[in-house]
Structure 1
Amino acid sequence: MISIIIPVYNEEERLPALLRHLDVVSSGIVSEIIIVDGGSSDKTAEIAQAAENIVFHTSEKGRALQMNAGAKIAKTDIFYFLHADSFPPKDFDALILKEVQNGNLAGCFQMKFDKDHWWLNLMGWFTKLNHISCRGGDQSLFVTRDLFTKLQGFDESYKVYEDNEFIKKLYGEKQFTVIKSWITTSARLYDRMGIWKTQRLFAEIYWKKRRGASAEELYEHYYKRLNL
């Protein structure tokens, strides 16, 4: 069985649609959906608590903190970390279980955006490749409990880039596969900032990390650019 862990912060618009979607596309292998709220000021908590078969939990704000908190209370041996604006494919849970049974203990789905633009389509195409430079949190992430525990979970010093840091450790263990089905994620940040400004920001974060920037430096740069 699988535990879905969804970190949220002010997701009242997206969360209801995601929960409906999961109910439709799941093949019945999901044991629990854990929503970890980082102190939302909108109706996110109210929506989550009113939904059926949802485990609602709170933690300090920060996706790494929230995802680790969800993992601590999860009851199954397979964790599936999912962003609130990413919608997995039909039978995603059966596909994950099949990979684990085949010895692939961690991985993600191919990703496409919900916006038709040649650049975003190209970025989506690259997620087919099983290479660390093509990875990101919007592609979602499954990992077994044992491997997650071995790698000590997400590094909570990271407020951005936390997914990439953990995935780097998975590649170091030679445990990462890309499932050949498409998860669809929101292009809302690209809509808000513009495609080229957003892509430039991601490139800056990537290269700053390659050059040794600290977790705090990445956070400061990200939110400085985000709020320009």
Structure 2
Amino acid sequence: MKLHKISIIIPILNEEAQIVALLETLLARMKHPHHEILLIDGGSTDKTIEVVRDFISKLNHQQHFSKKRCVDSLFEASSETTCIQLFSSEKGRAKQMNFGAQKATGKVLYFLHADTFPPKHFDELILEKVREGHQAGCFRMKFDYMHPVLLVSQFFTRFNVNWCRGGDQSLFVMKSLFHELKGYNENYPIYEDCEFIHRLYDEEEFTVIPKSVVTSARKYREQGTWKLQYHFAVIHIKKSKGATPEELYAYYKKYVS
């Protein structure tokens, strides 16, 4: 059976401290190394671009990867199997992820945050769901911080209901369905993941894979877990009551960012 290629799309901005760890994890945990990784930079001002280029150069040297031309790519490594590409786009996670979807060559899109690490053989787990007929879905989620509030929050990610979803759980979606729904709404500076997932649920096209990604709780540690969880809950409530993208972002900027 021919396996679908997965395009792993990662929006990045000032991720020099951990982007290499993520790339190494992705390469180590793939079962079928014929996919592609697309890093979409939104204008990093740290050493993210330099770090990624160095990683790709070392990969080329250590594993004998062969270069091939890639239109509009800032830097690329490829072999007969895995392909890693670095692109630049406008800032804004929705814009960056839409840009990545435009450049993707796989039939399956997998959107992943730069501080979220998928489980072993994540690609096969996604493809199993695709073979079962599912067109979109995510993983369960665990935090890298054992706080009671976060333990409760991550517990509910096992349930296949709309209000239990979030971008940190990552997201796979068939490219055809993604384009049919016109991708992420770029009017949302925040909440873009949830807004798109809501539309997937409206199409009754969602499943939850019973394995967990591990995501960073750095923002919770920095700002306080109870405080941040409260503000995120308020944002969800405001959206359910019809708040505009501008209103959600204004609240986020005031209390979170």
TM-score of Structure 1 vs Structure 2, range by shorter chain: over 0.9
Residue 60 of structure 1 aligns to a residue in which SS? coil
Aligned-residue CA RMSD (Å) = 1.0
State how many pairs are aligned: 227
Residue 183 of structure 1 aligns to a residue in which SS? strand
Larger Rg: 2
Which of 3, 6, 10 does residue 10 from structure 2 map onto?
A: 6
Q: 1:93 to 1:30 in 2, by over 3 A?
A: farther
Shift of 1:48: 2.1
Identity %: 52
The amino acid across from 2:208 in the alignment is: V
Residue 127 of structure 1 aligns to a residue in which SS? helix
* 2:236 aligned residue: 206
Please say which of residues 26-35 and 137-146 is displaced more in the overlay: 26-35
Please say which of residues 160-169 and 218-227 is displaced more in the overlay: 218-227
* 1:134 aligned residue: 164
Report the Cα distance in structure 2 between the residues aligned to 1:156 and 1:50, rounded to whole angstroms. 31
* 1:173 aligned residue: 203
Tell me whether 1:156 sits opposite 2:186 in the alignment.
Answer: yes
Which of 38, 42, 63 does residue 42 from structure 2 map onto?
A: 38
The normalised TM-score by structure 1 is 0.97
Shift of 1:51: 2.9
- Deviation string 1:139-187 (CA, Å, 9 cap, x unpaired) is 0000001100110000000010000010001001100000000100000
Shift of 1:29: 4.5
* 2:22 aligned residue: 18
Report the Cα distance in structure 1 between the residues aligned to 2:34 and 2:227, rounded to whole angstroms. 38
Report the Cα distance in structure 2 between the residues aligned to 1:17 and 1:51, rounded to whole angstroms. 10
For the 8 Å contact 1:29–1:93, the answer to whether it is kept is no
Report the Cα distance in structure 2 between the residues aligned to 1:214 and 1:46, rounded to whole angstroms. 37
Please say which of residues 190-199 and 21-30 is displaced more in the overlay: 21-30
Which of 19, 31, 35 does residue 27 from structure 1 map onto?
A: 31
Report the Cα distance in structure 2 between the residues aligned to 1:29 and 1:167, rounded to whole angstroms. 27
* 1:105 aligned residue: 135
Could you list the runs of 5+ residues in structure 2 that have no partner in the other structure? 57-76, 78-83
For the 8 Å contact 1:27–1:94, the answer to whether it is kept is yes
- Deviation string 1:81-114 (CA, Å, 9 cap, x unpaired) is 0000000000000000110111011000000000
Report the Cα distance in structure 2 between the residues aligned to 1:74 and 1:50, rounded to whole angstroms. 23
Could you list the runs of 5+ residues in structure 1 that have no partner in the other structure? none
Report the Cα distance in structure 1 between the residues aligned to 2:222 and 2:16, rounded to whole angstroms. 18
Which of 90, 93, 100 does residue 120 from structure 2 map onto?
A: 90
Report the Cα distance in structure 1 between the residues aligned to 2:221 and 2:253, rounded to whole angstroms. 17
